[in-house]
Structure 1
């Protein structure tokens, strides 16, 4: 048994990171020395407004334009469940950490108390996610993880926004530490950091 890579890709909104990630996933799918079984897209987005609906449709159209069969798994909350369905030989693109973390913050809002207001809730979600990602690293799976870069602006006065940025920053650092390769995309220009 051998391990395959974890690739972390970040960049600003509309920077070209999803296109780069899809292209990278397809290359891994087509050129692996061990036959790739499935090309999987794990989607964390939820269409709560028209803008998000448009973005989701655009991403779906982009994947279909490659004429390669993507299997899409919707995972706005329970990332671990989607990871458990993965098999040796899969090439997996998760888009994106930023959206998943937002969902994690506000999961439970419809029942009265979002996770961000429950003591230890977010820490537990992050811990479970990290354990699940580590478990994939010992399998014959290529995992490509996409996130957004939100750290070029000055600190916000809103405590919740700063908590989000801090948790996202910590999560980015962890992914880069675990990753075999790490990229930052700006204006469709790719910078390989690791």
Structure 2
């Protein structure tokens, strides 16, 4: 079975990473007359987040994206992906924050349960492999928050630790890894470069 491509794109807030990822997939999908799929992890918890979600929806509307809202349990999206789809998952950082606090309403969030995050990490990699086995191209977008000063809040540091660990694992899996800086893509890993070495 031929697997699709995996691209990992990270960058700071408002660095242009989502717009770049969308353009990349739109161009490829149009060339191949294929379906564009957007997996959204955001939850509108306040007016600012609601405005960002609405802006992203508006940006995608001209290209007929099929959108799935999947703030956690990413594995549930796998049956909805068709062979040859061009898939954008935006974003890993939001998904991780959502997953860490699953169970908070009962007083037992994942972040406080032994082994819970580890299970979610393992499931994530299995899900990414399943998506790549179906899609022609999967692009994962994530925020770069690891350049900031350490936080005084233990939970924030746990979040950063896990995000860094997952970023490294996904870059290792990826065919291409890009960091967006001021709207400029900096390619840190590229399948063509790797093959030449």
Give CA deviations for 1:50-90 in whole Å, capped at 9, x if unaligned.
110011011011111xx221100000011000123211111
Secondary structure at the counterpart of residue 52 of structure 1? helix
Higher helix share: 2
Cα distance between partner residues in 1 of 2:18 and 2:47:
20
Cα distance between partner residues in 2 of 1:135 and 1:107:
23
CA distance 1:78–1:162, change in 2 (3 Å): same
- The residue that corresponds to 1:87 in the other structure is 82
Secondary structure at the counterpart of residue 48 of structure 1? coil
RMSD over equivalenced CA pairs, Å: 1.2
Is the Cα contact below 8 Å between 2:15 and 2:182 reproduced in 1?
yes
* Corresponding residue to 2:49 among 45, 48, 52: 52
How far off its partner does 1:140 sit? 4.5
* Corresponding residue to 1:178 among 173, 180, 184: 173
How far off its partner does 1:137 sit? 2.8
Cα distance between partner residues in 2 of 1:172 and 1:4:
19
User: TM-score, with normalisation over the residues of structure 1?
Assistant: 0.93
Are residue 112 (structure 1) and residue 84 (structure 2) matched?
no
Secondary structure at the counterpart of residue 130 of structure 1? helix
How far off its partner does 1:188 sit? 0.6
Give CA deviations for 1:128-174 in whole Å, capped at 9, x if unaligned.
11111122333343100000000112222221111100100011111
Is the Cα contact below 8 Å between 1:12 and 1:149 reproduced in 2?
yes
Cα distance between partner residues in 1 of 2:154 and 2:89:
28
Is the Cα contact below 8 Å between 1:91 and 1:143 reproduced in 2?
yes
Give CA deviations for 1:161-192 in whole Å, capped at 9, x if unaligned.
11100100011111110111111001111101
1:1-194 mapped onto 2 (5 Å cutoff): 1-32=1-32, 35-36=33-34, 38-64=35-61, 67-194=62-189
Is the Cα contact below 8 Å between 1:15 and 1:188 reproduced in 2?
yes
Aligned length: 189
Q: Where in structure 2 are there 5+ consecutive unaligned residues? A: 190-197
Is the Cα contact below 8 Å between 1:12 and 1:186 reproduced in 2?
yes
User: TM-score, with normalisation over the residues of structure 2?
Assistant: 0.92
